[in-house]
Amino acid sequence: MEMWAPSQAPQSGRDSVAAMLKIPQDKVTVHLTRMGGGFGRRLDNDFMNQAAAIAAKMPGKPVQLIWSREDDLRSDFFRPAGWHRLRAALDSSGKLTGIDGHFITFETAGKIPNPASMTADEFPAGFVPNVRYGVSSIDTRVPMGPLRAPRSNALAFVYQSFLDEVAHAQGKDLPTLMLELLAGHEKVASKPSPFGPVPGFDPARAQGVIKKALAISNWKSPAPAGRGKGFGFYFSHLGYFAEIVQAGVAKGGQVEIDNVWVAADVGSQIINPHGALNQVQGSIIDGLGQATALAIRLKDGAVQQTNFHTYQLPRMPMTPQIQVEWVKTDNPPTGLGEPALPPVIPALTNALYAATGKRARNLPIDKKLFA
């Protein structure tokens, strides 16, 4: 079997095709076509198996498999849903002394897949004296998979939104709370992984991007009438990103986003400046799309969305001005495909709270909240 496929994991695709056809792995040749986006969907190779199954019934004839847009939307591996209950403890001086969080997620065959999981060191664990996290899982038959910045795209929204609430209860803003939590802490030790040691979280690098974002956005200056500024920070995929969004709400609850300011630390060098800028801008637009639309709904086991009229991707009119500044540090360069996305979602919802006094606690944002 000889295949051409746009896979993010061609070896596992080859192995699964060989197992399905009951032929040796070295009898399956995969040519990797470097075309199109992946964003996690092409880590699953069901399309390779489908094409191979068709070709096996038609020996000696070339087969080209093309999915329709309807196939693509309704036969996917979907980002897992989740529910969080969070509580905070403040002492008599208003200092944050405890976080209690419980996460309800999904499992399949007794296992929680990576995109649906959460680790015990989720910030602010390690930076608050008392933290208790719990996880419960519900069995599902819905196929689950990664969406760009898996796990982080949801957890950043949850925890940065909640810490924004905590900051308001303290009479301060989120960047101030973040800098207070980070102050005086040492770098977290590296973790082992199948690919070698993974650098741990560095509070100094986090403080660096937070301060840069405040400076480039002129954070302390008030937003125009009807607008609010919101902040979000997240460390994921070895990138440190602090982002500020200015946004408001138009008639009918339509979210309007004016500006996004981004401060990024991905090491000592920006190897491809144009590519790096495009990665960040694309991540911001992608994240804003996740925040404002892109819901998948199931009824009787079937996906209700069919094409772009019911699954509305971000378009040019909703794209804000995006300013990106690099904070270069004496660290090895890391990737940019994913870490710029997570913090823009809480930055947006925190901005909408600043503008309206109403807090979005679900994604995508329900326009009825602001109507």
CATH number at residue 331: 3.30.365.10
**Does position 111 have pLDDT exceeding 80, yes or no?**
yes
In a domain, 241, yes or no: yes
> DSSP state, 235?
E
> What residues make up the domain containing 318?
150-369
Separation of CA 241 from chain center: 12
Contact 67, 40 (CB under 8 A): no
In a domain, 195, yes or no: yes
For the chain, the first-to-last Cα distance in angstroms comes to 56
Contact 75, 20 (CB under 8 A): no
- Any bridge partners for residue 100, and if so which? 87, 132
pLDDT per residue over 328-370, tens digit each?
Answer: 999 999 989 999 999 999 999 999 999 999 999 999 999 999 9
My answer on whether 154 and 57 are in the same domain is no
My answer on whether 210 and 359 are in the same domain is yes
My answer on whether 177 and 275 are in the same domain is yes
- What is the rounded distance in angstroms from the CA atom of residue 371 to the CA atom of residue 359? 13
Average of pLDDT values for 10-27? 97
**Does position 39 have pLDDT exceeding 90, yes or no?**
no
Q: What pLDDT score was predicted for residue 192?
A: 87
**Does position 371 have pLDDT exceeding 90, yes or no?**
no
Characterise 136 by phi-psi region: left (phi > 0), alpha (psi -120 to 50), beta (else).
Answer: beta
Token pair for residue 140? 């599902």
CA distances from 180 to 85, 184, 187 (A): 24, 9, 16
* CB hemisphere CA count around 122 (13 angstroms): 24
My answer on whether 57 and 173 are in the same domain is no
In a domain, 118, yes or no: no
Domain end, chosen from 66, 90, 105, is at: 66
My answer on whether 221 and 358 are in the same domain is yes
In a domain, 234, yes or no: yes
- Any bridge partners for residue 231, and if so which? 244
Domain end, chosen from 66, 85, 102, is at: 66
Domain end, chosen from 34, 66, 98, is at: 66
Separation of CA 279 from chain center: 14
In a domain, 47, yes or no: yes
In a domain, 90, yes or no: no
My answer on whether 161 and 305 are in the same domain is yes
My answer on whether 233 and 348 are in the same domain is yes
My answer on whether 44 and 156 are in the same domain is no
Task: State the chain's mean pLDDT as an integer.
Answer: 95
My answer on whether 196 and 326 are in the same domain is yes
Q: What's the structural domain count of the chain?
A: 2
**Contact residues for 238 (Cβ-Cβ < 8 A; gap 6+):** 198, 199, 266, 334, 335, 339
pLDDT per residue over 255-299, tens digit each?
Answer: 999 999 999 999 999 999 999 999 999 999 999 999 999 999 999
In a domain, 350, yes or no: yes
Least confident of 37-41, 56-60, 245-249: 37-41
Q: What pLDDT score was predicted for residue 194?
A: 78
